[in-house]
Amino acid sequence: MNGFRPHEEILKHFNTLDISELSELVTEYNSEPNSAGLEQFFVGLLKLEGDMKCRAIDALLSFASNQQGDETFELITWLAERYPGDIGLFAPLILHVLTLEPGQAMYLDACTPHAYCKGTGLEIMANSDNVLRAGLTPKHIDVAELAACTVFEPKRREDLLSTPHRENGAEHFLVPVKDFKFSVYVNQHQRELSVETPEILFALDEPVHLMHENGEVAVLERGHSMFIPAFAKRYSVSCQGKFARAYC
């Protein structure tokens, strides 16, 4: 899950659900279908407590059980088995639900709610000084702080996936921040790479053979990573499969 759906999509979901415990929140959002309305709705939902919260979740799961074949509601049912009674079960109706295929990438912007649901992915992160929870967790949720740090702007689904620039056997994924760059290299033979900043290599499916200009060699087995310091300057790399590179 990544980024808020358009207002009309969110409202369509909740208008269709027609859960009495949420009627006041939904009515207010219907009257103000903008970022301010979304914030008020999101915060109000997270603040539900007690019997009202339980009844709202029960109504959601009852509706979801009759929506076989629908990706969003099947995800809600799957999540309910792992996070019973969690208000975050409403998240798939508010956030985009995407399935990344092998080789695809997606950028997760700051101040944007997101969640990894299942599967295995490679995540590259910039330095961060906080993690704010919004649901699907037994830990405390600071709703006020979460709202203060969230940008309540919908994102277009088609803008979420990253399309790589392909060049000489490499896929360079656009990262719209200066913190890092990310590339995947395919079937390389003695490819020479220049090092300007510290970087990390990760062997995705086949061993990666590295040689430094001073004669030092190393083999990076599948599933292993290697830190390369900036003073390495340059090295050559060979791999019959794919390896990922995080650098600046």
The catalytic site residues sit at 133
231, burial (CB in 10 Å: exposed 0-12, middle 13-18, buried 19+): exposed
Sorted by sequence, the CB contacts under 8 Å of residue 49 that are 6+ apart come out as none
Position of tokens 């490819």?
Answer: 191
Sorted by sequence, the CB contacts under 8 Å of residue 81 that are 6+ apart come out as none
Separation of CA 148 from chain center: 20
What is the β-pairing status of strands 225-228 and 199-203?
A: antiparallel
